[in-house]
Amino acid sequence: MSREVLMAAAMEVVDTNGAGAFSMRALGGFLDCDPTAMYRHFATKNALLDALVDSVVRDGVADLPESDDPRADIRANFRQLRRSLLAHPTLAPLVLRRPPGVGAYWERSDHAVAQLHRAGMDPADAANVYQTLLFYTLGHTLSEARQLARAVEKEGAGARGGPVAQVRPPAELHPDLSDVAPHLREDNEAQFLAGLDLILRDLPR
């Protein structure tokens, strides 16, 4: 049994039953082998999960565009990170286990920073814009993933979650929030992109 088929099987178990229900015993059952056989390839269950997370973070980086529009290329980068994470909603929160400076982020980070540079931004500003984009994307996407994950765990794989930032406070107590609530978009992707554009608002050129 190769490391690759083991990871593929683990991802399948995670996606169908949820990361919470993933266990070495469950994986052993899925692969018809002893639960302890996996320790040949991964020192620990967490090491296996880290490898799965890294593969998701790296997913699709080879296809990132380098057009003549740096802003569009950056948008594509983070939009695709969001989509890769949402493809595995119960696994997504585990990205926090991987520091954002780890190898799995390098290509993606280099692409984003290169576009900021190309748009004429100096390194200090580029660093700030980059970190803001990254952490905003993680915060938004992980919040969305948790809601999706709840739906998956209840209704099984392929369920749809609701809007990520829906707020229904009592209007008497929280008037300002109530005014704004209707503008928190139903469409999570549109809301997400609006935040990216806000951060990229005055990108040079």
Partner DNA sequence: ACCTGAACACCGTTCAAGT
**Interface residues toward a second copy, by CB under 8 A:** 93, 96-97, 99-101, 103, 105-107, 109-110, 113-114, 117, 123-124, 126-132, 134-140, 142-143, 146-147, 164-169, 173-177, 179-185, 191, 194-195, 198-199, 201-202
The entry of DNA, a second copy, none that residue 74 binds, CB within 5 to 8 Å by partner kind:
none
Nearest to 22 by CA among 2, 43, 52: 52
Question: What is the smallest separation between the CB atom of 61 and a second copy, expressed in angstroms?
Answer: 12
Q: Give whichever of 6 and 104 is closer to a second copy, judged by the CB atom.
A: 104
Nearest to DNA of 41, 185 (CB atom): 41
Check residue 203 and give left, alpha or beta (phi > 0: left; psi -120 to 50: alpha). beta
Q: How far is the CB of 53 from a second copy (least distance, A)?
A: 12
Question: What span, in angstroms and rounded, lies between the C-alpha atoms of 178 and 193?
Answer: 23
Please, which residue, 33 or 113, has the CB nearer to DNA? 33
CA distance 63 to 76: 10
Phi, psi of 2 (to 5 degrees): -85, 165
The least CB distance from residue 202 to DNA, in Å, is 48
Residue nearer to a second copy on the CB measure, 34 or 197:
197
Looking at the Cβ atoms of 116 and 149, the one nearer to DNA is: 149
Give the Å distances, CA to CA, from 145 to 15, 116, 186: 12, 28, 15
Q: Are 97 and 50 in contact (CB under 8 A)?
A: yes
- Residue 128 binding target from DNA, a second copy, none, CB below 5 to 8 Å by type: a second copy
Question: What burial letters (b/e) apply to 122-148, b meaning 16+ CB within 10 Å?
Answer: eeeebeebbeebbebbbebbbebbbbb
